[in-house]
Structure 1
Amino acid sequence: MSTRSKVSTPSSGLISHQTPLHALLGGGKIADVLLWTDKVTSAAVVAGFSIVWFLFEVAEYNLLTLVCHTLIAFMLILFIWYNAAGLVTWRIPKINDIAIPESTIRYFHTKLNLFLRKFYEISTGQDLKLFFVTISGLVIVSIIGNYFTIANLLYLMFLCFVTVPVMYERYEYEVDYLASKGNQDLRRLFSTLDSKFLNKIPRGPVKEKKFM
C-alpha cells in the first residue's frame, strides 16, 4: 500500500485544486524550471547557480572581479560573433539580443511596489498577529544569517525554490495533511495569544484604504 493511500486528505490544502501549481508559479518558463518540466533548462540553471556559488565560496572569487571577467567574456563573444558573421552564415547580433525587455522592468517594478505596500500595512499594526509573526520571522532569519554567508544563504534559498515546488507536486497529499494539522495548532496558539495579550494592546484608528 502506498504512503499516499495511508494519509487522509485534509479538508483544505495549501493550494486550491482548482488552480494548477504551474499557473500559481506564474506559468511560462519560470514555472517549467521550478517544476522541472523542462529538465534540460532546469539542470542548466542549477548548474549555473552552483558554479557561481563555487566561485564565491570555494574559489573565493571577488564579486567585482567576477563581474569584470563576465563582461570581458561577453565582449569577446560579441566581438567574435559580430566579426565572424560576414565570413560564415551567422546572423549579425542586434542590440535586442542583449537588451532587457521593458515588460521585465515593469514586472519587477510592480512586485517591488506591492512588497512596499504590504510592508507598510504590516508595520502599521493593523493586524497584530501578522505584525508579530513578521517580526519573529525576521529575528529568526537574522539569527540564521549569523551562521551563513550571503552567498551560502542565497544559494540555499535558490535550492529551496527549485526543489520545494516539485517535491510538493509529488507529495501533495502528505504535505497538505501535515500543513493542515500545523495550521490548526497555530490557530489555537494565536487564539490564546489574541485573547490574553493582543486584544489588550491599544491601537490607533484604522483608516479606510483608498486605492487610486
Structure 2
Amino acid sequence: MAAREHDDDSSFVDSAKEKMTETFHENDSSSSSDSDVKAKDKKHFPVPPKKNMATSWKEKPVHTLLGGGEAADIFLWRNKKKSAGILGSATIIWALFEMIEYHLLSLLCHVLILVLGIHFLWSNTLNLFYRCPQFPQVALEEDTVLQLALVLRLEINNALEVLREIASGKDLKKFLAVIAGLWIVSIAGSCCTLLTLVYICFVLLHTVPFLYERHKDKADVCLEKAEAELSKQFDVLHERVLSRLPSRQSKDKKLA
C-alpha cells in the first residue's frame, strides 16, 4: 500500500511538473509572438525622426549669412572681375574726395559737362562723317521708381521697428550691444570723415567675409573665446549694476 501511495505521489508530481513546463512554454511563445508583432509594427510604422534643433549662425554658410544672391557673390569674390571693379571704383571715388580733396558739386558739374560735350559731338560733328546711331535716351521708368520707394519704405520701417524693440528693454544684451556699437561708431566718426568711414566699412565687407570663409575653423575658435569673455563681463555687470536697478514688474506690483 505504501508503495502504491508513493507511486501515486510521484506521478502526481510529474504531471504537475509537465503542466508547469507547458505553461512556461506557452508564456514564452506568447511573449515571443508579442515581440514579433511589435517588431513587425515597428517595421510597418517607423518612428518619425526627431526634428533638428535651430542651428546657430556659425553652422550656416557665409553666403547665407550675407543674404545670398548677387551681393553675397560680390562680397565673397565669387565673380572676381565684378568685385574688383566695384572695389576699384569705390577706391577711386574715395581718393578723389579725400586725397585730392575734390568736391561733390564740382564733380557733378564736370560730369554734366562731359556728358553734354559727348552728346553734342555725337549729334552734330560725327554724323557729318559717319552714320552714327542716335545717342541713347536715358529715362527712369515709373515702375522702377515706385519699386525703389517701396523697398526703401519697407527697410526704414523694419529699422524703426528693430530700434523700438531694442529700446523697449526686453533683450538687455542686445540693448547694451547696440549702445556699445553706437559709441564705437561715434569715436570713429570723430577721428575721420563720413566718406572715409563708409569706405572702410565697404573694404571690410569685401575682405572680412572672404577671409572668414577661408579660415572658418580658426575664426570660430577665436569667436567662441571672445563670446565667452563677453558673457563673463556681462554677468559681472549684471550682478554689480543691473540687478540693483528696479525692474518694471516691481513697479507694477507697487502700483497694484
Query: 2:90 pairs with 42, 49, 62, which one?
Result: 49
- After TM superposition, the score normalised by the length of structure 1 is 0.75
In structure 1, how many angstroms separate the alpha carbons of the residues matched to 2:134 and 2:58? 47
Q: Tell me the TM-score normalised to structure 2 length.
A: 0.63
72-81 vs 185-194, which moves further: 72-81
* Structure 1 unaligned residues grouped into runs of 5+: 1-11, 206-212
Task: State how far apart, in whole Å, the 1-side matches of 2:118 and 2:99 are.
Answer: 27
The separation in 1 between residues aligned to 2:195 and 2:212, in whole angstroms, is 26
* Aligned residue in 2 for 1:156: 200
Give how far 1:44 is off: 0.7
Alignment deviations for residues 62-115 of structure 1 (CA, whole Å, 9 cap, x no partner) = 122223333444555667778889934678445258x95544443332222211
Counterpart of 2:238 in structure 1 is 194
Task: Calculate percent identity across the aligned residue pairs.
Answer: 35
Deviations 1:2-34 (A, max 9, x none): xxxxxxxxxx875323xx322332323211211
1:168 aligns with 2:233: no
Structure 2 unmatched ranges of 5 or more: 1-54, 250-256
Cα separation, 2, equivalents of 1:80 and 1:120: 55
Greater mean deviation of Cα atoms: 182-191 or 41-50: 182-191
Q: Does 1:30 align with 2:74?
A: no
Indicate the structure whose relative CO is greater, using CA pairs within 8 Å and at least 6 residues apart. 1
Deviation of 1:178 (Å): 0.6
- CA distance in 2 between partners of 1:110 and 1:135 (Å): 24
What is the root-mean-square deviation in Å for CA atoms of aligned residues?
Answer: 3.1
Aligned pairs for 1:125-144 (under 5 A) are 125-144=169-188
Corresponding position: 1:115 with 2:182: no
State the distance in 2 between where 1:47 and 1:200 align. 53
2:226: which partner in 1?
A: 182
Q: Which has the larger radius of gyration?
A: 2
Give 2:209's aligned amino acid: P
Structure with the higher fraction of residues in helix conformation = 2
Structure 2 partner of 1:145 = 189
